Chains A and B, each alone.
Chain A
Amino acid sequence: MTDLRLEEVSVGSLENVGLDVGAGEVVCLSGPSGSGKSRLLRAVADLEPHQGRVFLGDTEQASVPAHHWRKQVMLVPADSQWWFDEVGAHFPEACRQQVPEALGFAPEVMHWTISRLSSGERQRLALWRALALEPSALLLDEPTANLDHDLSLAVEEWLLAEIRTRQMPVLWVAHDRAQIQRVADRHLHIVGNTLEPIHGSD
């Protein structure tokens, strides 16, 4: 089982963050905008200089080449980028034929041009693009921000099923209290420069 462990991580205004996310566990992060949620995810993905150590199982972040680390600990940003003309070109060869049903696309979406995608469609495809690369841990930055309620529920359900099957530790930045209730095993809120646990009704 691989867990994701943060030891005394400091980035931006956050100081000495210690956190252990178990395999298949979803830890939600919330906090006012500008409190450093996204920066913390970027530090865990090693996209931003930071202090402290991060482990995936027994592997320390600094001990492997950065792009190997990011392939394992994958960050899905709030606004995804697409650089080829066609959707399919962004996916590994083996995943160009199918799209998970829960995302609400026909398989033809792989032949669509990027310019016809709405922001919600981009966001759902970005989640599938990340999972298709088979990471060992996920860092999700508001993964359903551009989706309506029903689609949000469907995507959540699909994500949770994938997370449980693949036993990935997940850090999930979210705003919506109801969503946090639905998906989180634990909920941490950023107060000042630390993370404080919030105990829900369950």
Chain B
Amino acid sequence: MEVIDLAWWKLALAALLIVALAGVSLYARLGVTRSLLVAAARTGIQLALIGLVLEALFASAELYWIALLSLVMLLVAGREVMARQKRRLYGVWAFGVGTGAMFVSSFAVTILALTVIIGPSPWYTPQYAIPLLGMMLGNTMTGVALSLDRLNDSVWSQRAVIENRLMLGQSWREAMEGIRVEAMRSGMMPSINAMAAAGIVSLPGMMTGQILAGSPPAVAVKYQILVMLLITVGTGFGTLMAVSWGSRRLFDDRERLRLDRLIKTEH
């Protein structure tokens, strides 16, 4: 079955509906008219640009172009993780811990899925590699950002407890046990909840897209199951690494709590 291509002027019809909504919200003084129009314009422009990039990438299918795009995606995700923390580590660590954790987990899981499970040839075929990596990074990013935010915030508010536990001769790991569990949990809950609700509450976007594109639902469902499992694995390991590296960095080599390494993010 061929996919029905959309002509650009048909998209303009959908855009007209947005303009109509903007008109109504202006009339009703909802105060969202401007952000609605800007956001709609951004969606159009950003997606059109990434469409061009992907067209070029699929045409060349060279490993180094794919690696370059992956790197850009990783760096943007790393910046986003940093921006989402109320308190973050001082200097390059704020960027390094989150980005490092996402790199190891997302790239390892994506490459494993490409080479062992899906097996396109060559393994880095961009039609598979880029969307898969995008989904991994997007979800791992959310998990890592949530867990690091929780970690730094709890350490800040419970500093007296941590120090008292250190005074009683506990190692930094013991003194941090409750906080690390909480941080891990808050990073992993979104993907665990998404797995629990999939198919009943929500029809996941990837599956919907594949079915629209003409795949038999049985195939689309298999891909969706694969992706959800991989997302949870990637998020889990990414969160684990970020929390572990991030909490280690809050103590020095004499296991002293070093809150001077945390700074409050300006907003």
Contact for B164 among A62, A66, A81, CB less than 8 A: A81
**A81-B161, A83-B178 are contacts. A74–B167 as well, Cβ < 8 Å?**
yes
Please measure, in the bound complex, the distance between the C-alpha atom of A81 and the C-alpha atom of B166, giving whole angstroms. 11
- Residues on B facing A (Cβ under 8 Å): 158, 160-161, 163-172, 178, 252, 254-257
Interface string of A70-82 (1 = CB under 8 A from B): 1110111101110
By the criterion CB–CB under 8 Å, are B256 and A48 in contact?
A: yes
**A47-B256, A66-B255 are contacts. A133–B169 as well, Cβ < 8 Å?**
yes
Q: Does A46 contact B (CB under 8 A)?
A: yes
Please measure, in the bound complex, the distance between the C-alpha atom of A67 and the C-alpha atom of B164, giving whole angstroms. 12
A-B contact count (CB 8 A): 57
By the criterion CB–CB under 8 Å, are B167 and A76 in contact?
A: yes
By the criterion CB–CB under 8 Å, are A70 and B164 in contact?
A: no
With a CB–CB cut-off of 8 A, which chain A residues contact B254? Answer: 46, 49, 62, 66
Contact for B167 among A47, A49, A65, CB less than 8 A: A47
By the criterion CB–CB under 8 Å, are B166 and A70 in contact?
A: yes
CB distance from B20 to the nearest CB of A (A): 57
Query: In chain B, what residue has the closest Cβ to A80?
Result: B164
Q: Does A199 contact B (CB under 8 A)?
A: no
By the criterion CB–CB under 8 Å, are A74 and B168 in contact?
A: yes
Q: Does A17 contact B (CB under 8 A)?
A: no
Q: Does A5 contact B (CB under 8 A)?
A: no
Given contacts A47-B256, A66-B255, 20 further A-B contacts (CB under 8 A): A46-B254, A46-B256, A47-B166, A65-B171, A66-B256, A68-B169, A70-B166, A70-B169, A72-B169, A74-B167, A75-B167, A76-B167, A80-B164, A81-B160, A81-B161, A81-B163, A83-B158, A83-B161, A130-B168, A135-B169
Query: In chain A, what residue has the closest Cβ to B178?
Result: A83
Q: Does A129 contact B (CB under 8 A)?
A: yes
CB distance from A198 to the nearest CB of B (A): 28
With a CB–CB cut-off of 8 A, which chain A residues contact B171? Answer: 65, 67
Please measure, in the bound complex, the distance between the C-alpha atom of A45 and the C-alpha atom of B166, giving whole angstroms. 10
Closest CB pairs A-B (n = 4) = A71-B169, A81-B164, A66-B255, A66-B254
